[in-house]
Copies of this chain bind each other. A is one copy, B any other.
């Protein structure tokens, strides 16, 4: 469900429709105008909750500001937890804490998939998560904890953040600040997962990160802006492994959404 016409949301939703179609899922894009009320939005959600032909429901964030600051949370409380393929419903978040979630937040689930398929050990490692959002930081910390990592959560109020980050064997960065994590934050050989995705048009910033002649400089000339994660490119010189942006966590997040949808459909078919 897409309410309004936020340009970034249009891109995300287009990706989801494409991913679903390619995976062989039926995707029903429900659009409502930006002038819709919260009550109208909730009525659509309730209809989808009881629809026999819909296994998963996503309401794209952000909702129009006019709906008020708690509108999204009200929507997440209304979506049937069995169809909550984003994993944002409080019931599913609570089950995640209790290590028995069936539908889990897609980005941290994608990071786990990435680590496991790359053969990066988690158990017994010191994992540091930078960022404490409901959607990434907190569920990421819980998933790493359940895989027996010792987990530290850092954030904007953390004292000596670079020094804390530099104790990590496994560093997950989701703070939403371009090139924030530098060499000083990374223990040599550590695995670094960059969850950030920032569009930067500031020429001076881009030139400070990338040398003349690099592909990112060319991207800036061509498009007027570049995509960069939360990790400074110099980290590649010290990290044992580093996930790229774009092309790292993003595609895994999209894949996990498809996986959640298939899981929800299977659960419903099996009468669970």
Chain A interface (Cβ < 8 Å from any Cβ of B): 73, 89-98, 100, 123-124, 126, 132, 134, 138-139, 141-142, 145, 148, 150-155, 157-159, 164
Contacts and interface: CB of A to CB of B under 8 A. Distances in A.
A246 to B, nearest CB: 28
Contact of A158 (B93, B141, B150): B150
B159 A124 contact: yes
Query: Which of A90, A132, A145, A157 has the largest number of chain B CB atoms within 10 A?
Result: A90
A139 B151 CA distance: 14
B157 A123 contact: yes
Copies per assembly: 2
A132 B148 CA distance: 10
A134 B90 contact: no
A157 B124 contact: yes
Given A150-B164, A152-B151, A159-B124, A134 B97 contact: yes
A130 to B, nearest CB: 10
A97 B104 CA distance: 14
Given A92-B94, A97-B93, A151-B152, A138 B134 contact: no
Query: Which of A123, A152, A157 has the largest number of chain B CB atoms within 10 A?
Result: A152
Nearest to A100: B73
A168 to B, nearest CB: 11
A142 B139 CA distance: 11
Contact of A94 (B94, B151, B154, B164): B94
A145 B97 CA distance: 15
Given A90-B95, A93-B93, A98-B73, A150 B145 contact: no
A134 B92 CA distance: 15
Contacts of A132: 145
